[in-house]
Amino acid sequence: MAHIVILGAGIGGMACAYEMREQVRPEDKVTVISDSPLFQFTPSNPWVAVNWRTKEDITIPIAPYFARKGINLIATPAKRVHPEKNQIELTDDQIIDYDFLVIATGPKLAFDEVEGMGPGKNTYSICHVDHAVEAGKAWEQFIRDPGPVVVGAAQMASCYGPAYEFAMIMDTDLRRRKIRDKVPMTFVTAEPYIGHLGLGGVGDSKGLMESAMRDRHIKWICNAKVTKVEPGKMFVTELDDMGNVKKEHELPFKHSMMLPAFKGVDAVFGIEGLANPRGFILIDPFQRNPKYNNIYAIGVCVAIPPVEATPVPTGAPKTGYMIETMVTATVHNIRAVLDGKEPDFKATWNAICLADFGDTGAAFVALPQIPPRNVNWFKEGKWVHLAKIAFEKYFLRKMKKGTTEPIYEKYVLGVLGIKKKK
């Protein structure tokens, strides 16, 4: 019998638990360690932050659905991974032994890298559902006394889509309330151009996103480094393409949401051979750590180099379907090792993304996500808004049923040439 532990119960961790239980031997034990008893559908957080959704709408309790599948849940945060001992130390001093470990923690949100930024300080966040709830409370106050808005993503951020979504969703909500004319909006981003997305662009994302921003009267500052945030004022240094200072900005605001840089979580940070200097998990082509061969990693916690050098540092995002491809490869590789074979499954890292703009939206398909690509497609339309709503319901249903890839989903994506493993 092998004990397989999955650290994290987000989009990657939940999917991994279900797939792992299906693929490993009946006698093997699957345990998930989570810092929360709830699963949250993070892509819906921008809706929560303008009160189009509640926390209850986009979260589900994990334990009852895991119990149906014979998966053990420990809803206690991890304090430290001890890879030399094959153990995880929890914050309540429990010690959990493992034969295989899959790290799916997601990131640590590095708000502290910019003075005055983050929840409890001077900007809001949509990175966690609880952050989004607080942002929603502030939004209710803001719409009674509107003013300038600053939204975007700070230097070293590696997830830009939600910032664009939230800017557009705020714009839609304000237009519906007939107060958009009272709210100047500025989009601040480390990207070298609008629509870069940390990916060097996808299709004509630059042209389409710039057009969408102009249509909504949203100004933007690219190559932007946020130096500090004071109450009601953001200080931004704009660089030119050579990395020299182009302009200093002092941006007043009454409401601001800025995505931070990501780092590895404290439980793995600084472990030589396991994590890089930012705390992200090092992996080989089979999602396996090169030093500790019984440790695998999936999702945002994985170390991926930037797609290209940019004047202000940008990271590469790990989108939902890309994470699912990592999950499938990891599960099949662990099963191969259990059967006495060498891992040989590689994730395709194919990406499908739906970004809601409130009443329209943008979608892209990047096969694979990291260029050069076989498919490089980006489109905008009202259908994306409807598709994002449908996907939210569909994904939450999948997490309740414990079926991560229903046969019809596999068939449709297969017809489109979108596969999870090589």
Catalytic positions, please? 159, 353
**How many CA atoms, within 13 angstroms, populate the side-chain half-sphere of residue 316?**
23
- Helical packing angle, 382-401 and 11-23, nearest 10°: 50
φ, ψ for residue 313 (rounded to 5)?
Answer: -55, 135
Residues in CB range of 110: below 8 A, 6 or more apart? 156, 260, 261, 262, 263
Structural element, H or E, at residue 388: helix 382-401
Cα–Cα distance list, 284 to 11, 134, 295, 376, 421 (Å): 22, 39, 11, 25, 15
Residue 224: HSE in the Cβ half-sphere, 13 Å Cα cutoff: 27
CB 63 within 8 A of CB 73: yes
Packing angle, helices 205-215 and 161-176, rounded to 10: 30
Give yes or no for a contact between 241 and 311, defined as CB atoms under 8 angstroms apart. yes
The two counts, helices (H) then strands (E), for the chain are 9, 22
Residue 241: phi, psi to the nearest 5?
-70, -15
C-alpha angle with apex 26: 24 to 32, nearest 5 degrees?
A: 60
Q: Are strands 218-221 and 185-189 parallel, antiparallel or unpaired?
A: parallel
DSSP element (H, E) containing 88: strand 87-90
Write the Ramachandran bin of 260: left for phi over 0, alpha for psi from -120 to 50, otherwise beta.
Answer: beta
Could you tell me if 135 and 123 are in contact, meaning their C-beta atoms sit under 8 angstroms apart? no
